[in-house]
Amino acid sequence: MKPVSVSNGNLLGHWRRWAPVVVLLALCILISLFNGNFLTFGNFIRLLNSAAIPIVLCMGATFIILMGSIDLSIEGVVALTAVIVSLLVLNDISPYALSLWAVPIAVAVGGMMGLLNGVLHIKLKTPSFMTTLGVGFAGVGVATTILGGTTVRISDPTFRFLSLGRVLEIPMAVWIAAVAVAVAYVIQERTRLGRWLYAIGTDEMTARHAGIPIERTRILIFGIAGLFYGLGGVLAAAQFGQGHALISQGRLFTTITAVVVGGTALSGGVGSVINSVIGVFIVVVLANGLVLMGVEPYVQQGVQGLLIIAAVALALDRSRLDVVK
């Protein structure tokens, strides 16, 4: 009986690995049957453009979840970096006009907020979800204070090109997202940091005994995640042509949903940035399909909620859990 059990386990693991791809293909086929406009080139470009910012954000969130942690500061980091970059480019409030030079400044602010997450999490020994939730609220609060609740409007065409511009008919934001995926993939597959985060997520105690610097790795990963969130804030400001504290609303739910739907386990150690890209497209394709089929917005939210519950149930390896927590 033992060989059958092992075979079944391998089969289940193989299914978990390919399930997101199967779900994405099934969604595309199903939606195209209901609405022929889904397979048009124009809709394909809309899908890519809608996926660009979530993909960038998911690169950072994937690293955190692979470690077995969770990051709830995404909306706060995006809000603050979007406000900062909008004030540093040509706008209707501040005298600054740094154009693209404002981008690395805003991304660096995101990285510093990520490092703050990591340092507080490690030094205070507080759960990652509570630490990052606090930092996220602080980010939104600071962004609100900077603008006093108003909106800054961007009038810098060079900066807006980061979202509105097109290269080979593909929006510039999509190319930037592709570069972000490439960078994240290299970190994951070609660096010690990438191997360490998998080891920490799989079994932190074993990783510690193996000599992996757990605390330093966690802080660095949170910092890298913050850089991706900062880039997401920049793209959000470029896309909407404005900066305000509420620009990040809904980003947290979409990001975590996409990472989990893509097959990255919340228990850590299982998944990849490529999985998260697939997860983003599942979420984006589903939302796009529901709109094309004329489904009401509140029904769309309900469907997305059920999607994340189903994804967690399918992706979670219960054999690694002694208790549900």
Q: Say whether pLDDT at 304 is over 80.
A: no
Mean pLDDT, range 265-288, rounded to an integer: 90
The whole-angstrom distance between residue 271's C-alpha and the CA centroid of its chain comes to: 14
> What pLDDT is stored for residue 324 in this prediction?
39
pTM: 0.91
Q: Are 244 and 223 in contact (CB under 8 A)?
A: no
Q: Are 22 and 251 in contact (CB under 8 A)?
A: no
- One DSSP character per residue, 23-92 reads HHHHHHHHHHHH-GGGGSHHHHHHHHHHHHHHHHHHHHHHHHHHTT-----HHHHHHHHHHHHHHHSSBS
Mean pLDDT, range 203-209, rounded to an integer: 91
Segments forming the whole domain that contains residue 155: 19-30+37-317
CA angle 148, 153, 156 (to 5 degrees): 140
For the segment 153-181, what is each residue's pLDDT rounded down to a tens digit? 999 999 999 998 999 999 999 999 999 99
Nearest CA to 200 among 220, 218, 224? 218
213 within domain boundaries: yes
State how many domains the chain has: 1
> What pLDDT is stored for residue 4 in this prediction?
44
264 within domain boundaries: yes
**Lowest-pLDDT range, 212-216, 241-245, 247-251, 288-292?**
288-292
145 within domain boundaries: yes
- Mean confidence (pLDDT) of the chain: 88
13 within domain boundaries: no
Q: At 168, is the secondary structure helix, strand, or coil? A: coil
Half-sphere exposure of 5 (CA within 13 A, CB side): 3
| Percent of the chain's residues with pLDDT above 90 | 66
Single-letter amino acid code for the residue at 212: I
Residue 170: strand pairing partners: 167
Q: Say whether pLDDT at 276 is over 60.
A: yes
7 within domain boundaries: no
DSSP summary character for residue 153? E
302 within domain boundaries: yes
Length of the chain measured in residues: 325
| R_g over Cα of the chain | 20
Determine phi and psi for 170, rounding to 5 degrees. Answer: -105, 130
Neighbours of 79 (CB within 10 A): 28
Q: Say whether pLDDT at 247 is over 70.
A: yes
Q: Say whether pLDDT at 23 is over 90.
A: no
5 within domain boundaries: no
For the segment 36-83, what is each residue's pLDDT rounded down to a tens digit? 888 899 999 999 999 999 999 999 999 999 999 999 999 999 999 999
Q: At 142, is the secondary structure helix, strand, or coil? A: helix
Neighbours of 318 (CB within 10 A): 9
197 within domain boundaries: yes
